[in-house]
């Protein structure tokens, strides 16, 4: 080896045995050689005489880079030398030239170099490139293989539309294809034919490679060169002849597919498809595990797709009849492929069948042949959505493999179920009949398949429900009136399996509109949800899902359940204690709980049932007590029992959380009117429960999950007990305010907002008592003269403070808008008034959230109305002066002049409207005191011309009623004029 060859070998070494310093030197030396003016000659000489693969690859890679990057800088002699040398190497039959004898990646790299020359030189400079290559094909397999690699690389690098191309590449590709069509395509196709004919038996792999190359080119060459009396018989002969290499037969099938997919006008395409006599290959799809089957399957799918496209596009009735005939011939084979062969064209088949169903939509009455095809499509769907029995145990226990399989099936079912709904719209009765027969067949199927059969049949019925309108669902049109009762009455032997149980319950729920109109089936529905098929199912995931769905059923059927209430409650009563015990069991409180299906919905369903006034008071009290009493006793016992370890404490906290969730869900069924007016005894039971649960805050004041659950229950009791909850609030507030963390304070403010919005001035004393505590804590956490944003604030701590700040503004807004602004003036709160005003002022001018600024402006507007009855009459000394001198000037003028105040933004326009309204209110309340100061002090500071100031006064003074559109329009125009005059130099700080 010479120094360059040695350096190349070292630079490619991956064994780890070469010193890193030496390897770096080798890489640097190779890079240095690359920069020499004679690098192309060096590389070509090495390619002629060196057989080291590393050297060959480096030289080819370097040649490719030089031609691609420096072609325009190369001299004519150098280009001639490179061109002739590359062709010579690619066409050489000299065994001493090692490139064509090398591995595939070396030959592919040579093909890439060849194609780069074609890119720059064909057809203008090197017009005879393909004509020069063709005579060398007689040298044998190595040169033929190289020619195929060149054509393949040309397709990959330039012609194929499967890859994104730049406009320049698209233009070059068009130039190359046009030149090839005129000059050499016919000769290349003839060479392909001769090679395949000559080598089909002696070298089937070479023949297969030639056909694979040809397949790439059929889409853009003259179809007559291939679809003729010579080539088509050869291709079919190769496909049909037993004993030939399956690889070669598949390649021939691929070429026929390319012919089928060739774009042309529909009438010509139909004639071409008819001439192929495709029925010759139908029998090949029964070859079992043969490698030929996928190729033939793809061919048949492509053929059917193109025939269907012809059917849509041809105009004559004769052409339509011929298209229909061809389609009827090929569809049975397509159905067979999908159901019996493992092929990768499934998605294309679904597209084909969806397209076929689309053509059926305009047909009022389907013919027998069409009905048969539709039935086959339904069978295809059923086959494709059926799980593999091999995953049965994984799907039942839902382990990692089961989860993956369930996700895979959910994805693959999407298009199939869309297809099902299309079939259901075109042939509703046939679809329902198919589902009925599928269910019957699944029930009687052998135990080794019935889980998958039943699940598939139920999934079909469930999916079909999406295409049923409400009227047909209610009336049970067609076979629905038979199918739904059959579904409710059938006991599947595989009901214990998770998949079957879940889809069964979901399907019943989907068709509940039918049951609503046919209440005779309600007992069957209740049994399905309440026995071992639903809530009592051994699989906890099924049980939770059943609880959630049962709650939805109860909500829907509530009015229909009145005649059955006694029976339902008696049935439920037998399992209430089991439900309580199961839901509050330590093992049930797992991390698997989700917000939508945490198991508490059974209690919500029970609450909805026993919370109806149709239930007698005695029974209502009895059932409610049977639930609340043991739950409250369990809470009391847990609160009084000490724990020794962290694990025991965690388990206890989890159980208490579950109990509170259960009671919370139970209470949703009881209206405020019932528990406070018509049946106060029921309200008394909830009051006792609330009193007990408040003890949780006393015993465990710092356990955040428990505090959150109790707080959620207080929210519920505010809605349920109404004003009768007031006596319990001081005790609750005392405990909730023991923690001052931002998150805790946000939750507390939400509770106060709920109380104020519901009861308004009735809660004045309660809010007045806690406001000073809240204000003191919040002012201790957030600044009054800074916005919590910018660099360094993207942390969890700052995000919590930002949320607290925003919640505090909402709280102040709620207080003000509900007539409680006097709270700010109470003796205990008065000390915070100045800081409160400064905070609101700064925020109304500067906060980055426009809606927060809008809320602050609204607060000021309301305070002006509440605290200022007229000129020189005010409840709060100094407030009028503060508003005129600080709020009006800074917020209503200077903040609006800031370039960040964007009038094109919808929210900013809302804020602007509130600012204009505030000016109207200030003029109404303060009269000329406001107007004189605003015009004489504020406008001059903004360099406002005198004529604009006078127009503003006139607009404000003549304003009538509540119509302020004219003032708003004028004031916006005034601000925009001021911005133009200042040329953007005025920026409010």
186-227 pLDDT, tens digit each:
999 999 999 999 999 999 999 999 999 999 999 999 999 999
- Tokens 């071409």, residue? 272
| 432-442 tens-digit pLDDT | 999 989 988 88
* Six-digit token string for 636: 């009391």
Distance CA(941)–CA(25), nearest Å, equals: 72
Question: Cα–Cα distances in Å, from 723 out to 479, 672, 718?
Answer: 53, 10, 7
Distance CA(749)–CA(804), nearest Å, equals: 9
pLDDT attached to residue 797? 85
pLDDT attached to residue 347? 52
pLDDT attached to residue 471? 86
| CA atoms within 13 A of residue 481's CA, in its CB half-sphere | 11
pLDDT attached to residue 67? 95
| 834-866 tens-digit pLDDT | 999 999 999 999 998 999 999 999 999 999 999
Distance CA(929)–CA(922), nearest Å, equals: 9
Is 815 in contact with 757 (CB distance < 8 Å)?
A: no
Spatial neighbors of 862 by CB under 8 A, at least 6 apart, are: 816, 817, 821
Nearest to 539 by CA among 658, 402, 396, 400: 396
Distance CA(693)–CA(685), nearest Å, equals: 13
pLDDT attached to residue 559? 78
pLDDT attached to residue 448? 66
Spatial neighbors of 909 by CB under 8 A, at least 6 apart, are: 903
Nearest to 712 by CA among 663, 669, 774, 757: 663
pLDDT attached to residue 343? 59
Spatial neighbors of 792 by CB under 8 A, at least 6 apart, are: 798
pLDDT attached to residue 792? 57
pLDDT attached to residue 670? 95
Distance CA(11)–CA(9), nearest Å, equals: 6
pLDDT attached to residue 190? 97
Distance CA(574)–CA(626), nearest Å, equals: 11
* Per-block mean pLDDT, blocks of 10 residues, the chain (989 long): 91 87 93 94 92 94 95 93 95 78 94 96 95 95 96 95 91 96 96 96 96 96 95 96 93 96 94 95 83 90 94 92 94 89 66 91 85 94 92 94 95 92 90 90 78 93 87 82 90 91 95 92 91 88 91 90 76 59 53 54 90 89 91 92 80 91 94 94 96 93 91 96 94 87 92 96 94 93 65 75 92 96 94 94 92 96 90 81 94 91 92 94 90 90 87 82 78 89 50
* Six-digit token string for 35: 């920069």
Distance CA(284)–CA(254), nearest Å, equals: 14
| 715-748 tens-digit pLDDT | 999 999 999 999 999 999 999 988 778 999 999 9
Distance CA(583)–CA(658), nearest Å, equals: 7
- Tokens 């409250």, residue? 632
Spatial neighbors of 913 by CB under 8 A, at least 6 apart, are: 968
Q: Are strands 873-874 and 868-870 parallel, antiparallel or unpaired?
A: antiparallel
Three-class SS state of 868: strand
Please report, to the nearest 10 degrees, the dihedral formed by the alpha carbons of residues 811, 815, 818, 824 taken in order: -170
* Six-digit token string for 226: 């291939």
pLDDT attached to residue 956? 86
pTM here is 0.78
Q: In 135-236, at which residue ranges do the beta strands (DSSP E only) sit?
A: none
* 715 burial level (CB within 10 Å; 0-12, 13-18, 19+): middle
pLDDT attached to residue 589? 45
* Six-digit token string for 827: 């003796």
pLDDT attached to residue 641? 85
pLDDT attached to residue 740? 75
Please report, to the nearest 10 degrees, the dihedral formed by the alpha carbons of residues 375, 381, 383, 389 taken in order: -150
Distance CA(152)–CA(164), nearest Å, equals: 17
Q: Where are the alpha helices (DSSP H) in 642-741?
A: 646-667, 672-673, 680-699, 704-721, 729-736
Spatial neighbors of 427 by CB under 8 A, at least 6 apart, are: 360, 366, 371, 374
Angle at 450 between CA 449 and CA 454, to 5 degrees: 130
CA 312 to chain centre: 34
Nearest to 26 by CA among 3, 44, 49, 57: 3
């Amino acid at each position: 080896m010479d120094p360059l060859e040695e350096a190349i070998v070292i630079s490619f070494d991956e064994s780890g045995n070469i010193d890193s310093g030496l390897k770096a030197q080798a890489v640097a030396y190779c890079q240095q050689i690359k920069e020499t003016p004679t690098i192309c000659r060096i590389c070509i000489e090495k390619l002629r005489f060196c057989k080291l693969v590393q050297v060959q690859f480096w030289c080819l890679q370097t040649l490719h880079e030089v031609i691609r990057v420096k072609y325009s800088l190369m001299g004519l002699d150098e280009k001639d030398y490179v061109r002739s040398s590359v062709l010579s190497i690619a066409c050489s039959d000299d065994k001493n030239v090692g490139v064509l004898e090398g591995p595939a990646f070396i030959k592919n790299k040579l093909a890439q170099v060849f194609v780069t020359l074609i890119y720059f030189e064909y057809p203008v400079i090197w017009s005879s490139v393909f004509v020069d290559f063709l005579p060398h094909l007689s040298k044998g397999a190595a040169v033929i293989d190289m020619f195929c690699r060149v054509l393949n690389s040309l397709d990959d690098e330039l012609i194929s539309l499967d890859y994104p191309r730049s406009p320049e590449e698209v233009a070059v590709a068009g130039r190359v294809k046009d030149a090839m069509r005129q000059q050499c395509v016919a000769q290349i196709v003839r060479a392909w034919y001769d090679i395949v004919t000559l080598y089909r038996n002696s070298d089937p792999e070479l023949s297969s490679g030639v056909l694979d190359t040809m397949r790439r080119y059929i889409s853009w060459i003259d179809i007559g060169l291939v679809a003729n009396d010579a080539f088509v018989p050869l291709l079919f002969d190769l496909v049909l002849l037993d004993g030939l290499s399956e690889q070669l037969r598949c390649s021939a099938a691929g070429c026929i597919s390319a012919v089928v997919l060739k774009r042309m006008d529909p009438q010509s395409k139909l004639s071409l498809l008819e001439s192929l006599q495709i029925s010759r290959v139908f029998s090949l799809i029964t070859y079992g595990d043969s490698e030929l089957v996928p190729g033939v399957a793809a061919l048949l799918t492509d053929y059917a797709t193109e025939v269907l496209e012809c059917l849509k596009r041809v105009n004559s009735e004769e052409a339509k009849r011929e298209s229909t005939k061809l389609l009827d011939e090929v569809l049975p084979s397509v159905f067979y492929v999908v159901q019996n062969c493992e092929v990768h064209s499934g998605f294309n088949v679904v597209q084909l069948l969806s397209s076929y169903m689309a053509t059926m939509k305009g047909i009022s009455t389907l013919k027998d042949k069409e009905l048969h095809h539709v039935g086959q499509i339904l069978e295809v769907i059923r086959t494709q959505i059926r799980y593999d029995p091999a995953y049965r145990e994984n799907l039942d226990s839902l382990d990692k493999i089961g989860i993956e399989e369930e996700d895979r099936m959910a994805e693959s079912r999407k298009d199939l179920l869309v297809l099902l709904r299309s079939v259901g719209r075109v042939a509703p009765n046939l679809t329902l009949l198919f589902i009925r027969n599928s269910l019957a067949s699944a029930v009687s199927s052998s135990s080794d398949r019935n889980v998958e059969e039943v699940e598939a049949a139920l999934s079909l019925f469930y999916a079909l429900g999406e295409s049923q309108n409400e009227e047909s669902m209610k009336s049970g049109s067609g076979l629905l009136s038979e199918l739904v009762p059959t579904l409710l009455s059938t006991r599947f032997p595989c009901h214990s399996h998770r998949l079957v149980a879940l889809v069964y319950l979901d399907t019943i729920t989907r068709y509940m509109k039918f049951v609503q109109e046919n209440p005779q089936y309600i007992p069957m529905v209740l049994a399905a949800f309440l026995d071992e098929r639903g809530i009592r199912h051994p699989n906890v995931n099924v049980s939770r899902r059943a609880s959630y769905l049962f709650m939805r059923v109860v909500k829907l059927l509530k009015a229909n359940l009145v005649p059955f209430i006694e029976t339902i409650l008696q049935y439920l009563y037998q399992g209430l204690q089991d439900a309580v015990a199961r839901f509050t069991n330590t093992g049930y409180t797992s991390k698997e709980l989700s917000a939508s299906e945490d198991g508490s919905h059974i209690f919500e369903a029970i609450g909805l049932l026993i919370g109806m006034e149709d239930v007698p008071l005695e029974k209502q009290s009895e059932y409610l007590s049977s639930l609340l009493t043991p739950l409250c006793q369990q809470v009391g016992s847990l609160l009084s029992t000490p724990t020794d370890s962290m694990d025991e404490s965690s388990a206890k906290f989890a159980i208490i959380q579950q109990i509170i969730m259960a009671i919370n869900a139970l209470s949703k069924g009881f209206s405020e009117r019932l528990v406070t007016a018509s049946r106060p005894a029921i309200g008394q039971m909830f009051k006792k429960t609330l009193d007990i649960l408040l003890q949780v805050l006393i015993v465990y004041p710092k356990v955040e999950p428990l505090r959150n659950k109790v707080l959620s229950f207080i929210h519920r009791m505010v809605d349920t007990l109404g004003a009768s909850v007031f006596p319990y609030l001081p005790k609750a507030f005392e405990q909730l305010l023991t923690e001052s963390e931002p998150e805790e304070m946000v939750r507390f403010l939400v509770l106060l907002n709920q109380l104020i919005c519901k009861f308004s001035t009735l809660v004045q004393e309660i809010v007045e008592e806690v406001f000073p505590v809240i204000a003191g804590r919040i002012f201790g956490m957030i600044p009054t003269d800074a916005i919590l944003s910018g660099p360094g604030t993207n942390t969890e701590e700052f995000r919590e403070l930002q949320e607290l700040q925003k919640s505090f503004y909402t709280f102040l807004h709620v207080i003000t808008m509900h007539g409680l602004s006097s709270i700010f003036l109470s003796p205990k709160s008065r000390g915070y008034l100045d800081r409160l005003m400064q905070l609101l002022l700064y925020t109304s001018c500067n906060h980055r959230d426009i809606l927060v600024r809008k809320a602050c402006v609204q607060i000021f507007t309301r305070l002006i109305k509440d605290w200022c009855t007229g000129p020189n009459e005010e409840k709060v000394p100094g407030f009028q002066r503060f508003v005129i001198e600080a709020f009006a000037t800074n917020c209503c003028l200077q903040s609006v002049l800031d370039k960040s105040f964007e009038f094109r933004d919808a929210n900013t326009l809302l804020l602007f409207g509130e600012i204009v309204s505030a000016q109207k209110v200030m003029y109404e309340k303060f009269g000329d005191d406001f107007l004189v100061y605003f015009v004489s002090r504020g406008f001059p500071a903004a360099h406002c011309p005198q004529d604009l100031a006078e127009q503003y006064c006139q607009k404000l003074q003549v304003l009538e009623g509540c119509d302020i559109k004219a003032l708003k329009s004028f004031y916006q125009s005034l601000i925009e004029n001021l911005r133009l005059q200042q040329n953007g130099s005025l920026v409010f700080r």
